[in-house]
Structure 1
Amino acid sequence: MCHFKVYQREDHYHLPDSSLKNHFKVFARKEQYIVNLDEHAQRDHRRKQFVLMQSFESLIAKSRHKKWIPSESTVWRSSRDAWSWMQWPQFPAKVNLTILPSIANCTASRQELYSRKPKFVVVLKTRVEEIEQRRVIRETWARELNAPVVFAVGKSARTLDNWNTVNESKTYGDILQADFIDTYFNLAFKSLSILQWMDKHCPQVDFYVQGDSDMLFSPRMLQSFVAMHRYSEKEIHGVVYTHALVLHSDKYAVNPASYPYAYFPDYCSGRVLLMTKDVPHRLLYFHERRVSKRDHSGYISVDDAYFTGIIAQEAGVQRINASKIVFLDQPSDYGDTVNPCNTLAVGEFKSPRLMRAAWSTLSEEYEGC
């Protein structure tokens, strides 16, 4: 049973303005009504209240640009029973890696062990079925890169897709697979698998690059960036988001019992991440500490906000904005808006055709830089 009625008195909970107070009273009255219904009716009303609670959260968030004050977070902690009908999975400390890339021992693929050039590895998050997208990447910018490029996937509910993944791994040796179903909701499992592989199987490089399969990297700019930051520590570079609202509905839903605040800490977009060599180990350590010590370590599917925001903040890792990363509103905009000589990565090119066309144009312009 939800305990919102405990907070109906204004001296128990100080809301910032009258609109929030009225909104909260509406929710409290509905809550008193719900507890008198049978279980089936309660579940139906809970789903309707989910939208109401999201609106309540948004009103509070608009009233201040910071984390919730203790009394506000107390409301969310008290409300965790209201979400008892939802099956929030626990966040594991580790995931099981089922396929490891054979080409990337992190000194292979044209990287000499004693070379003065910085050694780095690129890991791209891809879906199981994106076979053609991976092929185009191998044939375009990845071919020009003096570093291994690894493709991280999960498992498919279709047996044929899983067989294709095994065969692709045998052919190219660049597949990293972990034991989870490859869906949008499971992206944080994929990010966790990447960090595990970097930390355990690839600890000897100078820098780590992580990205999405629709991003096109400039080999020259990427190598220059890594050389410039190879000796840095505790840094994640990317497109930094500030004051990002924590949602408790739709595909970005976060269990309020796992993170009872209005805003995420500043975090980097997961579409492109550039990490100093110590970061994967730090993030894993603080992730494992968090899930082992919390009474409720519920899964948070917003992988970039979780690892580069919540966990990075606990680990003391800086999030630094990288101005040379470009996210296009339309894939066709790259010709007008992108300066190839000053762009490290650009996207989103969500199809093999778009990726190949963009590389055909940009690679010629890269030569003139």
Structure 2
Amino acid sequence: MSIFKRNSEDFLKLPDIDCSRNAPFLVILVTSRLGQMEARMAIRNTWGKERVIAGKRIVTYFLLGNNSRPYDQIGIITENILYKDIIQKDFMDTYSNLTLKTLMGLEWIHKFCPQSAFVMKTDCDMFVNTYYLTELLLKRNSTTKLFTGLIIRHSHPVRDKNSKWYVSKEEYPGNSYPPYSTGGGCVLSTDVAKEVYVVSKNITLLKVEDVFVGLCLAEIKILPEELDSRPIFFGSNVPFSPCRYRKIITSHHHSPAQIMLYWDGMERTMDEGCPGDQGNPQAVDI
């Protein structure tokens, strides 16, 4: 039996977008907590800023739960009035409910933005190179049947009750997990995102949200694939250099100040040559 209670309440906050009129190519969903406004602002001013890259529209929204502090929610109400980029439901915003937060984002895609082509799920302390991601998605020449990221294979359940990743045999009796991507940066074609959301209702919820998504993928028979022949998704903090960051998608564990600094450093040097560089798509901020 699941330790979670599935939440069927209405959304508290929805972003200001009509996907039926101007469907984005890529929707980036960022898991965040109520008190992380500084991180959200850094993302809004850098890689999360709405823009057009190689003729494709990219938008970013933040996934939030709730907490027991009313003044935090008042702040979110004000923030959403200003930026109109928050997706929120009324469940407790804890690590154990990260799976619910991810499913909330996929539910929003399923119900409100099925016209998009791709969905990325990431976190508030990630650096995301939307230029290179768009370039690689366009090279793929298909907008279906994709799940990619930092792929983990041959992983096993953690049975240590003191671990934050502990999973009991009642929750998951198997001895190994199917392939999955770390939750800090996974990319799905929208058809797969919708299928994951639908099939998730039939699978016992795990608090380890990236593994749970992997279980959903196995159920719908989607194998994670590499988007490039070289490593491009990183679950660690990649030392910064403009040329290095041009050819990666994610780097983890960044402060808001680092995100601002690194994004500026990368963008300012976009027109400069790098070894093996064959140009970058042009972007237009909206």
Q: TM-score range by the shorter chain?
A: 0.7 to 0.9
Q: Which residue of 2 aligns with 1:268?
A: 181
One-letter amino acid matched to 1:155: N
Identity, % of aligned pairs? Answer: 23
3-state secondary structure, aligned to 2:165 = coil
Higher relative contact order (CA 8 A, sep 6+): 2
- Unaligned runs of at least 5 residues, structure 1: 1-79, 81-87, 291-296
Question: Is the 8 Å Cα contact of residues 120 and 226 (structure 1) preserved in structure 2?
Answer: no
Question: Is the 8 Å Cα contact of residues 94 and 196 (structure 1) preserved in structure 2?
Answer: no
For residues 230 and 128 of structure 1, do their structure 2 counterparts lie closer, same or farther at Cα, with a shift above 3 Å needed? farther
Q: Which residue of 2 aligns with 1:92?
A: 6
1:184 is aligned, of 95, 98, 112, to: 95
2:199 is aligned, of 286, 293, 308, to: 286
1:240 is aligned, of 144, 147, 151, to: 151
Question: Is the 8 Å Cα contact of residues 31 and 122 (structure 2) preserved in structure 1?
Answer: yes
Q: Which residue of 1 aligns with 2:169?
A: 256
The yes-or-no answer on 1:168 pairing with 2:76 is no
Distance 1:194 1:216 in 2: 20
One-letter amino acid matched to 1:216: F
Distance 1:96 1:287 in 2: 18
Q: CA deviation at 1:135?
A: 0.7
After the TM superposition, which residues 78-89 of structure 1 pair with which residues of structure 2 at under 5 Å, given as runs?
89=3
3-state secondary structure, aligned to 2:260 = helix
Question: Is the 8 Å Cα contact of residues 65 and 91 (structure 2) preserved in structure 1?
Answer: yes
Q: Which residue of 1 aligns with 2:32?
A: 126
Q: Which residue of 1 aligns with 2:283?
A: none
One-letter amino acid matched to 2:257: R
Distance 1:97 1:134 in 2: 20
One-letter amino acid matched to 1:100: L
The Cα offsets for residues 254-301 of structure 1, whole Å up to 9 and x where unpaired, read as 2311211222111011111111121122112211233xxxxxx4x310
Q: CA deviation at 1:91?
A: 4.9
The yes-or-no answer on 1:200 pairing with 2:111 is yes
3-state secondary structure, aligned to 2:225 = strand
For residues 126 and 257 of structure 1, do their structure 2 counterparts lie closer, same or farther at Cα, with a shift above 3 Å needed? same
The yes-or-no answer on 1:105 pairing with 2:18 is yes
Q: Which residue of 2 aligns with 1:353?
A: 257
One-letter amino acid matched to 2:180: Y
Question: Is the 8 Å Cα contact of residues 217 and 223 (structure 2) preserved in structure 1?
Answer: yes
Specify which structure has the higher proportion of strand. Answer: 2
After the TM superposition, which residues 1-369 of structure 1 pair with which residues of structure 2 at under 5 Å, given as runs?
89-92=3-6, 94=8, 96-102=10-16, 104-106=17-19, 112=22, 119-143=25-49, 145-146=51-52, 147-229=58-140, 231-248=142-159, 249=161, 250-290=163-203, 297=204, 299-307=205-213, 309-322=214-227, 323-329=231-237, 333-335=239-241, 339-349=244-254, 351-368=255-272, 369=279
One-letter amino acid matched to 1:105: D
Distance 1:348 1:367 in 2: 27
Distance 2:194 2:65 in 1: 22
Question: Is the 8 Å Cα contact of residues 26 and 116 (structure 2) preserved in structure 1?
Answer: yes
- Unaligned runs of at least 5 residues, structure 2: 53-57, 273-278, 280-286
Distance 1:325 1:91 in 2: 32
One-letter amino acid matched to 2:196: L
Specify which structure has the higher proportion of helix. Answer: 1
Distance 2:70 2:139 in 1: 44
Distance 1:218 1:318 in 2: 24
Q: CA deviation at 1:182?
A: 0.9
Question: Is the 8 Å Cα contact of residues 30 and 63 (structure 2) preserved in structure 1?
Answer: yes
Distance 1:242 1:192 in 2: 22
Distance 1:262 1:197 in 2: 33
One-letter amino acid matched to 2:77: V
Q: CA deviation at 1:345?
A: 2.5
Q: CA deviation at 1:367?
A: 3.4
Q: CA deviation at 1:107?
A: 6.1
Distance 1:175 1:143 in 2: 14
Question: Is the 8 Å Cα contact of residues 107 and 205 (structure 1) preserved in structure 2?
Answer: no
- Normalised by the length of structure 2, the TM-score is 0.84
3-state secondary structure, aligned to 1:97 = coil
Count of residue pairs the alignment pairs up:
263
Q: Which has the larger radius of gyration?
A: 1
